[in-house]
Structure 1
């Protein structure tokens, strides 16, 4: 580990990996709960267009990716709500348009090559610069701040949109806010795992945590722990084994998922062997009740 810290680019990469491992599973928990697991993939393809735009205009690719990805996230909600296009079709449109736009703009960029495109598609921690790290840090703080302020409302929205609307919550605003927050998370993670695999770090740790927990809050905390272990473990392994960091991180997360499936099966069999407690009608599970919020006064 001491050898790894001797290199300045690895110190920057470790900081980026910590930010990714922390933020990606937090937003991923909401996306999985709302059945929008592929949203990160769609936004990731749009972010590639932003990266290419930054390279073409000689500005920060991370910053332009954040702007373009945010615009794409808002566009998804507009297409989904105001047209007859379903959510999966809207995502497909972003998939194709985003990757095509990115490839086209990179082709127009003087001095750009396929290596430049590959570094953003699959991640390249060795190219993370200090300026990129500052932008990623600010974006990560913004994402955590949004969850801290609107976390309860987003939970209700992800549980049931109609229930959220019935309780007076601003459903359209919250939907756009979640999409924009997901877009910023994609930009945060793309320098480490790449835009093609960024969604995996948002979804796989959450899927692994769900195998062993029932509470939304506990699932999020466990997913963050898995995300941090996967990011730091994958980055360290890739350094010593000379492997691609993005693919190593994702494969490690998938390995944790396989272990979680086995552990979850044992836990379910153990709990099934116990005599279930008798519940009064309407009590429900405390883990599944809706939290009370200041906006809309949602009550269990």
Structure 2
């Protein structure tokens, strides 16, 4: 097994996949705890479908570097989603469902109407489930992912106290002078960046798993916000690493394997929590 892994790691694309996988898993787990506690964890799924629709438009327009198009579109939709969720006429879950289903349908429709590839089904499957895109990363994309990951981690560390306050008691945070809307907007924008990065790893349909499962697993083991956040980050990185290595050895899709490992970790954490009474 180790000999096989050593042979595979001689190829740059395998090393790129592991580096990007670890970085994305780390970033997604940091804000996953906040989203779960704010009952807004499904935003990852909604924005992932928006990113899929943006990718379809970029393909139709023959944009070479589609990241330059997908990222701003997803960020704008994250802002609109936040504003719509604050509207009393359109609740948060309804706004997410509306944007999610609409973007997914429009994206698939555009890919069929303006097909640029003879294998539409294969392209759609790869985008939705991330089966092969993680293995075609270039050095430039890896550097872009690394830079954006450093920015995400730095933002989380710098604004940790504010994010903590907004997560647990938004009304009290406002009363103490904290600009809760601004920090909610910051969270939405950072999540949009993470979603776009994660599309290459697990695909747009499985992104929510990277956000939700590590947070839920950590909550079974620890009680404080800081402990849960650190534990979620560690579990997410370990699960992503194990998932990528298993997919290399077993020849399974990368994204689905990582999610399967996340599920297994959650079940183990749930069992430990039950035994210890947490």
Q: Answer yes or no: same fold by TM over 0.5.
A: yes
Give the TM bin, normalised by the shorter chain. Answer: over 0.9
Q: Bigger CA drift: 157-166 or 106-115?
A: 106-115
**Structure-2 change in CA distance of 1:133 and 1:109 (3 Å):** farther
Q: Bigger CA drift: 126-135 or 13-22?
A: 126-135
In structure 2, the partner of 1:233 is 242
Distance 1:218 1:83 in 2: 34
In structure 2, the partner of 1:111 is 117
In structure 2, the partner of 1:8 is 12
Deviation at 1:83, TM superposition (A): 5.1
Distance 1:52 1:138 in 2: 25
Does residue 157 of structure 1 match 2:166? yes
Q: Bigger CA drift: 219-228 or 1-10?
A: 1-10
Preserved contact between residue 230 and residue 249 of structure 1 (Cα < 8 Å): yes
Does residue 55 of structure 1 match 2:59? yes
Preserved contact between residue 62 and residue 135 of structure 1 (Cα < 8 Å): no
In structure 1, the partner of 2:102 is 97
Q: Give me the TM-score of the superposition, normalised by structure 2.
A: 0.92
Distance 1:64 1:145 in 2: 24
**Structure-2 change in CA distance of 1:131 and 1:51 (3 Å):** farther
Deviation at 1:109, TM superposition (A): 4.4
Does residue 74 of structure 1 match 2:79? yes
- Larger helix percent: 2
In structure 2, the partner of 1:194 is 203
Structure 1 runs (4+) greater than 6 angstroms displaced: none
The structure whose Rg is larger is 1
Distance 1:76 1:206 in 2: 22
Deviation at 1:126, TM superposition (A): 1.5
Distance 2:88 2:227 in 1: 37
Distance 1:227 1:43 in 2: 20
Aligned residue runs from structure 1 range 110-259, under 5 A: 110-111=116-117, 113-123=120-130, 124=132, 125-259=134-268
Deviation at 1:85, TM superposition (A): 0.5
CA RMSD of aligned residues (A): 1.5
Three-state SS of the structure 2 residue aligned to 1:190 is: helix
Preserved contact between residue 122 and residue 247 of structure 1 (Cα < 8 Å): yes
Deviation at 1:29, TM superposition (A): 1.2
Structure 2 gap segments, 5+ residues each: none
In structure 2, the partner of 1:42 is 46
Three-state SS of the structure 2 residue aligned to 1:211 is: helix
Q: Bigger CA drift: 206-215 or 47-56?
A: 47-56
**Structure-2 change in CA distance of 1:56 and 1:134 (3 Å):** farther
Aligned residue runs from structure 1 range 265-284, under 5 A: 265-268=274-277
Structure 1 gap segments, 5+ residues each: 270-300
Three-state SS of the structure 1 residue aligned to 2:252 is: coil
Q: In the comparison of the two structures, how many residue pairs are matched?
A: 269
Higher relative contact order (CA 8 A, sep 6+): 2
